């Protein structure tokens, strides 16, 4: 099968919770959760095999025991332009400035992407990539929120303290993004619920030209929610709290010829799946509970989108590196099951 899309995934060998930097990673008492690593690895491989079966080319970032967040490469940055069918040398990958606990990942992503043939560039603002900056129809959405020093603070209640997490991208990144995407309308939207700390946990564009949008509106400040309703009209599908809590919006949209798919976390309601099918898109559910319930990232967080798969203009060394890091080449015993 010809490849349709190129994506990054991070080898889960060392997946664990080290910093506990979002509300999903800690218990109500503030203790970091423990990952069932065997379960996580099995879920990761099942997900990667499904993607490959749909013609997606998966490039795997090597694991690093000190950088366990590499399993969530949606935070690495963003490729621009993303969907345009043009040679790789004409695109640039803008690296994210991650929160301090994950800052060491930037050099890993830069080295890996440059070996794959991508040009890279840096942004100065605190900003976490395509998790907060992504296309919706002909526009781009930029989501942001208040940055906080992550800490515990006292309160009345049980326990008598709470964890402050904040959000991941600051409003000041908008000016840099406008320069990068000059000529493209960018819609800034403010987040307000720390459980939905990235835009891609509350919003997901899908279908032809990404014209439809799943949206958990309670994750946005009221003015931002109203702006989305006005812009999208009937193309907006509000999520229920139950589907939103399963990170239904943290899904990955794929177009293959004239067919459209949406890879979603397992457990989303039949009602929501029916709404997606009504729009000519087939939902494909994936079990990634260990990554969501322990790490706070589901389907989309586990993927870095590198656009249409194209090797035009790549050197032989860059092509060889891509082949060496291709999921099928790395995990040949599993390949036989596809």
pLDDT tens figures, 252-297? 999 998 999 999 999 999 999 999 999 999 999 999 999 999 999 9
CATH number of the domain to which 176 belongs: 3.75.10.10
- The list of the chain residues with pLDDT below 70 reads 1-3, 333-338
CA atoms of 233 and 190, how far apart (whole Å): 19
The confidence score (pLDDT) of residue 3 equals 57
Tell me the pTM: 0.96
Which residues, 6 or more positions from 219, have their beta carbon under 8 angstroms from its beta carbon? 191, 192, 193, 195, 196, 201, 202, 244
Interatomic CA distance for residues 201 and 187, integer angstroms:
17
Query: What are the tens digits of pLDDT across the range 128-170?
Result: 999 999 999 999 999 999 999 999 999 999 999 999 999 999 9
Q: What is the pLDDT of residue 1?
A: 41
Give residue 259's domain range. 5-335
Domain total of the chain: 1
pLDDT at 88: 82
Instruction: State the pLDDT at residue 335.
Output: 47
């Amino acid at each position: 099968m010809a490849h349709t899309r190129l994506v990054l995934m991070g080898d889960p060998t060392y997946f664990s919770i080290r910093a506990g930097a979002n509300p999903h990673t800690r218990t109500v008492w503030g203790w970091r959760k423990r990952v069932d690593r065997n379960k996580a690895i099995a879920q990761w491989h099942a997900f990667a095999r499904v993607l490959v079966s749909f013609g997606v080319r998966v490039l795997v970032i090597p694991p690093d025991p000190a950088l366990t967040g590499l399993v969530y490469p949606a935070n690495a940055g963003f490729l621009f332009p993303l969907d345009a069918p043009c040679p790789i040398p004409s695109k640039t990958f803008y690296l994210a400035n991650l929160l301090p606990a994950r800052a060491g990942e930037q050099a890993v992503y830069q080295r890996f992407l440059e070996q794959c043939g991508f040009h890279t560039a840096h942004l100065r603002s605190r900003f976490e990539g395509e998790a907060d900056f992504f296309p919706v129809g002909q526009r781009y959405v930029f989501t942001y929120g208040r940055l906080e020093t992550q800490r515990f603070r006292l309160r009345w209640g049980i326990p008598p303290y709470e964890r402050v997490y904040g959000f991941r991208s600051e409003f000041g990144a908008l000016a840099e993004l406008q320069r990068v995407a000059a000529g493209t309308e960018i819609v800034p939207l403010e987040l307000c619920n720390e459980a939905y700390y990235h835009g891609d946990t509350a919003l997901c564009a899908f279908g032809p030209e990404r014209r439809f949008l799943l949206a958990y509106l309670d994750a946005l400040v009221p003015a931002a929610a109203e702006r989305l309703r006005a812009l999208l009209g009937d193309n907006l599908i509000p999520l229920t709290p139950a589907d939103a809590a399963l990170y239904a919006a943290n899904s990955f949209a794929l177009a293959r010829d004239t067919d459209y798919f949406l890879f979603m976390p397992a457990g989303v309601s039949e009602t929501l799946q029916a709404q997606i099918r009504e729009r000519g898109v087939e939902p494909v559910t994936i079990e990634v509970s260990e990554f969501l319930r322990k790490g706070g990232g589901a389907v989309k967080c586990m993927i870095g989108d590198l656009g249409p798969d194209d090797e035009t203009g790549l050197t032989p060394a860059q092509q060889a590196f891509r082949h060496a890091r291709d999921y099928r080449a790395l995990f040949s015993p599993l390949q036989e099951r596809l």
